[in-house]
């Protein structure tokens, strides 16, 4: 039996915190609607106390989106929780996401507090939030750099106070997959009331390990992944939704599944790119422009004979265009013949050789040879 992993999307909160990515209420609602169509389980709609605009956006999403959990972020501060509860009130599935820093950096340097005091603040915040909603998620900020024994104490207190989900953020993207997996396993084995809540991964990508860490987390027992479309987020970003979903999809042996409609991954990626003004790198896994493009002769020959020679995902599965055979100076005769056939031009062996020599002259002058250039060079052959 496959195990269901909850997808918690934080594009509208952690993703939107990025400079230049700010959205208005109308844009946030439009994206929330697309996220629901995509099949995410939880939409983190914003941080309601941060500004009147974000309050309005969370409140509007809570009113309009039915049947999906709508979440609002708070600090472990009663005023924040009051505002989040008010913004989320219209939702049929509201969740308050509250928490506090637990690493030494946070406890001593940022909060100028003590470990005992932080446990008490965590307890109070969760209890307070539970007065408003049945689903309270607690985050232990910088859990990635928090000592496991102390982290287990905080997690136990949060669950004891009524938290239903415990988020273990690797806030600075510091952990190695093995360390992050061990952290989740440690909590699964050492928190006495762990059966009363689920653990969630929340990984940042400072070392390019967010996706690997999230997968290590679910393999060790976490049941929810927090992620964003295109992996956008603070600094180097968050875990990329499309990557974790397709890893679970393609590696059937790891026995995880999600509710995500994978054919909507490319369309939503383009919406986020456009609305949030954040271009996707061409070689981005799953949704980058080059994710299914082949330009070297050896690869093109393999793909033309059988797509699976150089592709582990069928582009249709993620809503992308067909695999592309790009003509460059590194392309071979097979690719030229293939692209000519696509334009209904049939070439004999001899004609292909003439065309190929002409093609190389053009290709050496340009980055790519497009259909117009190809038609011109085929003319008269």
Partner from ligand KIV, Zn ion, none contacting 144, C-beta within 5 to 8 A by type: none
Binding site for ligand KIV (CB under 6 A): 14, 139, 141, 167, 169, 171, 202, 204
Exposed/middle/buried for residue 2 (C-beta within 10 Å: 0-12, 13-18, 19+): exposed
Which residue number, 204 or 299, has a Cβ lying nearer to ligand KIV? Answer: 204
Q: Based on C-alpha coordinates, what's the Rg of the chain?
A: 25
CB of 99 to ligand KIV, least distance (A): 6
Site string for Zn ion, 11-30 (x = CB under 5 A): ---x----------------
Spell 231-264 as b/e; 16+ CB within 10 A means b.
Answer: bbbbeebbbbbbbbbbbbbeeeeeebebebebeb
Partner from ligand KIV, Zn ion, none contacting 156, C-beta within 5 to 8 A by type: none
Q: Calculate ∠ Cα 112-148-194, nearest 5°.
A: 110
Query: Cβ-closest residue to ligand KIV?
Result: 169
Which residue number, 16 or 301, has a Cβ lying nearer to ligand KIV? Answer: 16
CB of 202 to ligand KIV, least distance (A): 5
Q: Calculate ∠ Cα 373-379-381, nearest 5°.
A: 125
Q: How long is the chain?
A: 381
CB of 15 to Zn ion, least distance (A): 9
Q: How many CB atoms lie within 10 A of CB 105?
A: 16
DSSP calls for 80-125:
HHHHHHHHHTT-SSEEEEEEEE-SHIIIIIIS---HHHHHHHHHHH
Which residue number, 224 or 262, has a Cβ lying nearer to Zn ion? Answer: 224
When asked if residue 242 is in the footprint of Zn ion (CB under 5 A), the reply is no
CB of 8 to Zn ion, least distance (A): 11
Which residue number, 140 or 313, has a Cβ lying nearer to ligand KIV? Answer: 140
Considering only the stretches 7-15, 38-46, 307-315, 359-367, report the one whose residues sit in contact with Zn ion under the rule CB under 5 A. 7-15
Q: How far apart are CA 184 and CA 206, in angstroms?
A: 20
Query: In the beta sheet, which residues pair with residue 225?
Result: 7, 201
Which residue number, 14 or 41, has a Cβ lying nearer to Zn ion? Answer: 14
Smallest CA-to-CA distance from 133 within 70, 59, 222, 77 is with 70
First and final CA of the chain: distance in angstroms?
59
Tokens representing residue 191 in the block: 């928190």
Q: How far apart are CA 140 and CA 98, in angstroms?
A: 9
CB of 183 to ligand KIV, least distance (A): 14
- Site size for Zn ion (CB under 5 A): 1
Which residue number, 100 or 245, has a Cβ lying nearer to ligand KIV? Answer: 100
Which residue number, 9 or 14, has a Cβ lying nearer to ligand KIV? Answer: 14
CB of 101 to ligand KIV, least distance (A): 8
| The residue to which tokens 């003439």 are assigned | 354
CB of 247 to Zn ion, least distance (A): 20
Partner from Zn ion, ligand KIV, none contacting 167, C-beta within 5 to 8 A by type: ligand KIV
Q: Which residues bind Zn ion (CB under 5 A)?
A: 14
């Amino acid at each position: 039996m496959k195990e269901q992993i909850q997808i918690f999307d934080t594009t509208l909160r952690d993703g939107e915190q990025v400079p230049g990515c700010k959205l208005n209420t109308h844009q946030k609602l439009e994206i929330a609607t697309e996220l629901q169509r995509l099949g995410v389980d939880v939409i983190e709609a914003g941080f309601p106390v941060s500004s009147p605009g974000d309050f309005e956006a969370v409140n509007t999403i809570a009113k309009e989106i039915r049947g999906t959990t709508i979440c609002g972020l708070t600090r472990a501060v009663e005023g924040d929780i009051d505002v989040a509860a008010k913004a989320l009130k219209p939702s049929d599935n509201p969740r308050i996401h509250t928490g506090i820093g637990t690493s030494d950096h946070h406890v001593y340097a940022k909060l100028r507090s003590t470990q005992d005091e932080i446990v008490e603040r965590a307890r109070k915040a969760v209890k307070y939030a539970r007065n408003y909603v049945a689903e309270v998620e607690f985050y232990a900020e910088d859990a990635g750099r928090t000592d496991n024994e102390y982290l287990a104490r905080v997690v136990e207190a949060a669950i004891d106070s009524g938290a239903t989900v415990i988020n273990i953020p690797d806030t600075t993207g510091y952990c190695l997959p093995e360390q992050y997996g061990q952290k989740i396993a440690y909590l699964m084995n050492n928190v006495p009331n762990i059966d009363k809540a689920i653990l969630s991964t929340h990984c940042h990508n400072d070392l390019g390990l967010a996706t690997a860490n999230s997968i290590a987390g679910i393999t060790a027992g976490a049941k929810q992944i927090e992620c964003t479309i295109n992996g956008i987020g603070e600094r180097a970003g968050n875990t990329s939704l499309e990557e974790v979903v397709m890893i679970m999809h393609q590696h059937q042996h790891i026995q995880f599944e999600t509710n995500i409609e994978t054919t909507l991954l490319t369309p939503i990626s383009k919406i986020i790119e456009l609305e949030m003004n954040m271009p996707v790198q061409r070689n981005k896994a799953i949704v980058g422009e080059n994710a299914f493009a082949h330009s070297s002769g050896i690869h093109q020959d393999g793909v033309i004979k059988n797509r699976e020679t150089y592709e582990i995902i069928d582009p249709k599965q993620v809503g992308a265009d067909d695999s592309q055979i790009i003509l460059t100076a590194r392309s071979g005769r097979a690719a030229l013949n293939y692209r000519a056939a696509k334009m209904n031009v049939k070439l004999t062996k001899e004609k292909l050789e003439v065309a190929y020599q002409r093609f190389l002259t053009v290709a050496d002058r340009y980055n790519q040879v497009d259909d117009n250039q190809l038609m011109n060079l085929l003319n008269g052959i």
